[in-house]
Amino acid sequence: MSHKVTFDTVRKIALTLPGVEESTTYGARSFKVGGKMFACPAINKSAEPNSLVIRIDFDQRDALIAEAPDTYYVTDHYVNYPSVLIRLPKVTAEVLRGLLTASRKFVVKGSR
């Protein structure tokens, strides 16, 4: 069985990606590439505990939520931002690596 995914897992994976640095966003630990945040704990009170927010395009967000609504969701606070909330206990480290990689690429592509 796989280990439980926590923010520490997020940190370990994120810091292996090219150009990623640990920083803060609104006082919470976050991960940035080129100064732009792509992943951080969901600190808005509308989010569930142990949730991560990643930046991702709206089409990918909709597909993730449609595919696994028990894992991926969005609240009114986040609905207008290209992002999705992830319930960390519901994902594996392998899935998380793919999501963080996609989010990093989305932020890099959008910053040109």
Q: What is the pLDDT of residue 39?
A: 98
> Per-residue pLDDT for 35 more than 60?
yes
Q: What is the pLDDT of residue 46?
A: 97
DSSP code string of 72-83: EE--TTTTTSSE
Is 105 strand, coil or helix?
helix
**46-104 pLDDT tens trace:** 999 999 999 999 999 999 999 999 999 999 999 999 999 999 999 999 999 999 999 99
Distance between CA atoms of 82 and 56, rounded to whole angstroms? 5
Right CATH number for 7-110 from 3.30.230.70, 3.90.1150.30, 3.90.45.10, 3.30.1490.190? 3.90.1150.30
Domain ranges (residues) in the chain: 7-110
Q: What is the mean pLDDT of residues 11-28?
A: 96
Q: Biggest alpha carbon distance in the chain?
A: 41
Stated pTM of the model: 0.93
